[in-house]
Structure formats: structure tokens, C-alpha cells
Copies of this chain bind each other. A is one copy, B any other.
Amino acid sequence: MRPASVKDVADRAGVAVGTVSNVLNYPERVSARTQEKVQRAIEELGFVRNDAARQLRAGRSRTIGMVLLDAANPFFASVARGAEDAAAGAGSSVVFASSRHDARREARYIDLFEEQRVQGLLVSPVGSIAARVAELRSHGLVVVLLDREGDPQLYSSVSVDDVHGGYLAASHLVETGRRRIAFVGGGRHLQQVADRLRGAEKAVAEHPGVSLEFLPTEELNVLAGREVGQALVQRSRHLLPDGVFCANDLLATGVLQSVLLAESLDVPRDIGLVGYDDIDFAGSAIVPLSSVRQPAEEIGRTAIRLLAQELEDPGAPHEHVVFKPELVVRASTGTPGARP
């Protein structure tokens, strides 16, 4: 049975379709008596507005689309929560999709959201999507990039200084006496990874005698970290890094698990470990993780704010908000100078 339409409601209430629409959208224009009749008809028929029809007429939807890198990473869950709260305050809804670091999945969801004519799009992009964003913009869609700074001509963005974050992490490892640093993270094509690595390289360059090694992974989750960790612990002692910096806390958690499983090795004694994001679990890891904190919820809230600004005044110049990350020191790196 086809769902009821305004026409059905109008017939049953004995009024015109325009009146039903007015009851729904401008009740103050309709007499109390008529409103009541219409309301009753709506309830009797179980009428639910058809959003597709509304949207078609309005030319635009009331939802905001958000494409996240990885919904399974609590960091992004926090960003999403911040965005959701801010949007709810402004009367919009946010729907999410997770690209899982896969450019094709990302493209699919961006297409989907564009076809849905969402109000705007928040994207934490997998690779370079400058071209795609330019296209979206030329179609009139407002896009805010998350966790990625870029062409100020094209879009607004909210990001965190990843180079600085990488620098903080690696510097800290060096300062706690580490000399052979390893950076664990997905490929260099991921900008977050590339930037954090760049920051680490910079820190290492400032200290002669300190080496930096890059250990790429397929994915950026706990399992991938565990695999890297297993490979590490099988190395002969003189090839083993004494400091490991992971591109996120999931990887760090996995590395930690593997290293501790190797009975002869200890964190922070033999390996100092730093993660990234400072998710809730970092502080309660088997050895509490030092980590680089990003203001996740604030990133989400800010992104919605920038989006709202651009929707209101499409001509306004794009804004780029860059947050500073912050190093949180915990047991996984020991205390400076505490090593022999």
C-alpha cells in the first residue's frame, strides 16, 4: 500500500492540498478549526512527509554529509560527535559514511552525497582530492575539509598541525634518550602520515646520531600495529629501534601488545612508544601511552561553524583553522633521563 500523500490528507480533511502544506509549514496562516481537521487526517492516515519531494521542490536537502576516514577510530567518532552537536544546534542533521582509507569508497560516498544535494559536505580526505573538490565547488556545493589544509582558494578547512605533532613526538623520544627511532604508519600517500613523518624527520635532523626508519602498514588499525610489532620483536637486538612513533593510537596499541608479548622486551625500558590522537583508551593501555592530542570534538564543531558561515555568505573568503597538537606524556616513554 502506497504511503499517504498530502493529496490523500487533503481529500480526507476536505481541504485543498495547499492548505495541508500550510498546516505543516505555516500553521499561523491557517484557522484553528482547519488545522484540527488536517491534523486528524494526518494521524488517521499515518502521513509522513516525503523528503524527496520536499527536496526536489526546495532544490536542496536539510542534511549535512560527512565522510570520515575511519569510523572505527575513536578519534573520528569524537570529531563526528562534535559536528553532530554543533549541527543539531543549528537545526541540521548530519549523516556519516566511512571511507576506511579507501579512495574508491570515498568517491562513492561523495557521489552519493552530491546526488542527494546535501547542504554541505565535510570530508577528511584519503588522498589528494583537490580536483574533485574543485568540481564539487563548481557545482555549488559547499565543502569543508577536515584534518587537511590546502588550497585556500577552493575551500575552508579545519586541521591540526601534523608536522608539529610529529615533531613533538619524535623530539620527546629523542629527549628520553632514544637513538634509533621507527615511524609506523600507513603509506606516504596519506597526508596525515606524510606530515607526521616529516615532523619526525625534522626533529631527528636536529640531533646528530639519531636515525629514523619508516615502517609502512597496509591499514591503520590495532591489527596492523600488532603485525608490525611482531616483525620488530624478531629483529636482532642491534637492529631493534629503541623508540617507536605510531601514526595513531590504534597502531601504537597493536605494537604495544606485540612488544609486551615478547617476554624479553619491555616498554618503556627497551622501546619508548608514542601514539597519536590521545583517544580515551590511550591512558588506560597496558602501559599508558604517550600520545599527541588533537582537539577532536572542537575540530568537528569548528567544521560545522565554517560550513554554516559559507552557506550564509557564499562570497566570504575561505577560512583555515589550524589547531596546535599537544604532547601528553605517559608511562610508555618513561621519564626523561631515566634510562641508562
Contacts and interface: CB of A to CB of B under 8 A. Distances in A.
Contact of A1 (B2, B140, B223): B140
A134 to B, nearest CB: 11
A133 to B, nearest CB: 13
A78 B77 CA distance: 13
Contact of A222 (B108, B221, B284): B284
B283 A284 contact: no
Nearest to A45: B139
Contacts of A253: 280-281, 284
Interface stretch (A6-14, A109-117, A161-169): A109-117
A71 B98 CA distance: 12
A115 B48 contact: yes
B52 A116 contact: yes
Given A77-B77, A284-B285, A71 B52 contact: no
19 contacts: A1-B140, A46-B135, A48-B111, A48-B139, A50-B117, A51-B112, A52-B55, A56-B56, A72-B74, A93-B112, A95-B96, A96-B97, A222-B280, A253-B280, A253-B284, A257-B284, A281-B281, A281-B285, A285-B285
Contact of A95 (B97, B139, B285): B97
Interface of A: 1-3, 46, 48-56, 59, 61, 63, 71-72, 74, 77-78, 80-81, 84, 93-98, 100, 108-109, 111-112, 114-117, 135, 138-140, 221-223, 250, 253-254, 256-257, 280-281, 283-288
Contacts of A288: 286
Nearest to A258: B284
A96 B71 contact: yes
A205 B199 CA distance: 58
A45 to B, nearest CB: 10
A107 to B, nearest CB: 12
Given A46-B135, A84-B98, A94-B97, 7 more contacts: A46-B139, A48-B139, A49-B115, A72-B81, A93-B97, A96-B97, A256-B284
